[in-house]
């Protein structure tokens, strides 16, 4: 039997002449027919913009424009408004400690331009914030001699006047005092009653809490006193 030998020559690989520069290639989606959209879009940017605008319904455009215009204007008829206030004063010997208009016996008090009532200052800032007005330092600047040693009840009365002028009233108020000493438990009732009277609000909507600062930083070392207040104003 004859034996046949076949020689096999290697098949040269097809040279790659095209270099791919982009890692991501956008392939056509077979589900989308490009022929039916060719007439809707053109190459130039100006024509594309005109075509896109034509494809958007006039009603949708009108609604979007109205919403954009409305969002830039603050509402004048909100049924309620919320404000937050914060104040802090350094405690020094030789000053009275007045909180919520009540003189609290202590060996030191708030060093301030006015009487340094940290609670009333905080409440004023909360009301002004809810009204969208500047803070207490701008309305009653501490470099104005008229407010030197002034009772903070003056500031509260002005804030309440502005509140009524804007046709709002107190919905509820929640205040937190932060100080290491003295203990405020014996004075809470008097502070709350006086604050409610100054605000012209029922005591049931005024809440007062007091916390120590666990001997941390100036508050915990009895070198300062701070207060936070959140107030809800309701449209009359």
Residues recorded for the chain? 236
**Angstrom distance (rounded) from CA 86 to CA 136:** 11
Instruction: Give the tens place of pLDDT for each residue, 125-134.
Output: 999 999 999 9
**Angstrom distance (rounded) from CA 18 to CA 16:** 6
Per-residue model confidence (pLDDT) at position 76: 60
Higher pLDDT, 29 or 187: 187
Enter the tokens of residue 112.
């301030």
H-helix or E-strand spanning residue 9:
none
Most confident of 60-69, 82-91, 112-121, 140-149: 82-91
**Angstrom distance (rounded) from CA 128 to CA 73:** 19
Confidence band of 67 (pLDDT split at 50, 70, 90): very low
> Do the Cβ atoms of 160 and 127 come closer than 8 Å?
yes
Average pLDDT on 180-208 reads: 96
**Angstrom distance (rounded) from CA 236 to CA 222:** 41
Largest CA distance in the chain: 129
Instruction: Give the tens place of pLDDT for each residue, 1-45.
Output: 455 544 444 545 555 444 444 444 444 554 444 444 444 433 444
Enter the tokens of residue 93.
């010997």
- Could you give the angle at the alpha carbon of 128 between the alpha carbons of 144 and 209, nearest 5°? 105
Lowest mean pLDDT among 10-14, 165-169, 181-185: 10-14
Q: Which of 177, 87, 170, 86 is nearest to 131 (CA)?
A: 170
Rounded to two decimals, the pTM is 0.66
- Residue 232, classified by CB atoms within 10 Å of its CB into exposed (0-12), middle (13-18) or buried (19+), is middle
Task: Supply the CATH classification number for the domain 80-235.
Answer: 3.30.1330.50
């Amino acid at each position: 039997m004859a034996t046949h030998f076949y020689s096999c020559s290697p098949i040269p690989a097809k040279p790659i002449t095209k270099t791919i520069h982009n890692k991501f290639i956008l392939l056509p989606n077979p589900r989308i027919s490009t022929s039916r959209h060719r007439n809707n879009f053109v190459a130039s940017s100006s024509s594309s913009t005109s075509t896109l605008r034509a494809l958007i319904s006039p009603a949708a455009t009108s609604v979007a424009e109205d919403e954009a215009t409305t969002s830039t204007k603050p509402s004048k008829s909100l049924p309620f408004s919320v404000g937050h206030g914060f104040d802090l004063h350094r405690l020094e010997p030789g000053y009275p400690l007045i909180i919520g208009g009540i003189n609290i016996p202590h060996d030191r008090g708030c060093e301030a331009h006015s009487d340094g009532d940290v609670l009333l200052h905080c409440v004023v800032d909360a009301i002004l914030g809810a009204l969208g007005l500047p803070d207490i330092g701008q309305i009653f600047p501490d470099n104005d001699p008229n407010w030197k040693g002034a009772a903070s009840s003056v500031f509260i009365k002005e804030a309440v006047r502005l509140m009524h002028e804007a046709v709002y009233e107190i919905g509820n108020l929640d205040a937190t005092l932060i100080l290491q000493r003295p203990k405020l438990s014996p004075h809470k009732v008097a502070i709350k009653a006086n604050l409610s009277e100054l605000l012209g609000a029922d005591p049931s909507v005024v809440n007062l809490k007091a916390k120590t600062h666990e001997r941390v930083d100036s508050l915990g070392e009895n070198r300062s006193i701070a207060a936070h207040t959140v107030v809800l104003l309701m449209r009359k």
